[in-house]
Amino acid sequence: MNVLGIETSCDETAVSVVGPEGVVSDIIHSQAIHNEYGRVVPELASRAHAERVVVAVRAALAEAGLERPDAVAATAGPGLVGAVLVGLSHGRALAAGWGVPFVAVNHLEAHLLAPLLDSPAPEYPFLSLVVSGGHTTLYLARAMGDYEVLAQTIDDAAGEAYDKVARMLGLGYPGGPAIDRLAAQGNPRAVAFPRPRVKELRASKRRGQLIQRSPLDMSFSGLKTAVRQHVARPDRARTEDVAASFQAALVDVLLSRIEKAVKKTGVSRVAIGGGVAANSELRSRLLALQGVTAHIPPRSRCTDNGAMIAHCGRLRLLAGQRDPLDVTARSGWIPGEP
DSSP H stretches of helix in 147-279: 158-168, 175-183, 198-202, 221-231, 239-265
Beta strands at 71-77 and 22-30: parallel, antiparallel or unpaired? unpaired
Residue 175 to residue 163: CA distance in whole angstroms: 4
The whole-angstrom distance between residue 268's C-alpha and the CA centroid of its chain comes to: 21
**Helix 158-168 / helix 175-183 crossing angle, nearest 10 deg:** 70
Q: Between 129 and 248, whose beta carbon lies closer to Zn ion?
A: 129
Q: Which of 25, 132, 136, 305 binds Zn ion (CB under 5 A)?
A: 132
Number of residues that bind ligand KG4 (CB under 6 A): 19
Is 180 near Zn ion (CB under 5 A)? no
Is 133 near ligand KG4 (CB under 6 A)? yes
Is 276 near ligand KG4 (CB under 6 A)? yes
Q: Which of 5, 91, 188, 275 binds ligand KG4 (CB under 6 A)?
A: 275
Q: Which of 7, 109, 180, 241 binds ligand KG4 (CB under 6 A)?
A: 180
Residue 148 to residue 214: CA distance in whole angstroms: 12
Q: Which of 22, 19, 74 is CA-nearest to residue 49? A: 74
50 binds, among ligand KG4, Zn ion, none (CB under 5 to 8 A by kind): none
Given a contact cutoff of 8 angstroms between Cβ atoms, the answer to whether 118 and 130 are in contact is no
The whole-angstrom distance between residue 294's C-alpha and the CA centroid of its chain comes to: 17
Distance in Å, CB of 332 to ligand KG4, minimum: 13
Is 278 near ligand KG4 (CB under 6 A)? yes
Is 134 near ligand KG4 (CB under 6 A)? yes
Contact positions with Zn ion (CB under 5 A) in 287-306: 304
335 binds, among ligand KG4, Zn ion, none (CB under 5 to 8 A by kind): none
Q: Which of 303, 14, 333 is CA-nearest to residue 162? A: 303
Contact positions with ligand KG4 (CB under 6 A) in 138-177: 159, 162-163, 174-177
Is 156 near Zn ion (CB under 5 A)? no
Residue 75 to residue 86: CA distance in whole angstroms: 10
- Among all residues, whose Cβ is closest to Zn ion? 132
Positions in the binding site for Zn ion (CB under 5 A): 132, 304
Positions in the binding site for ligand KG4 (CB under 6 A): 10, 132-134, 159, 162-163, 174-177, 180, 274-276, 278-279, 303-304
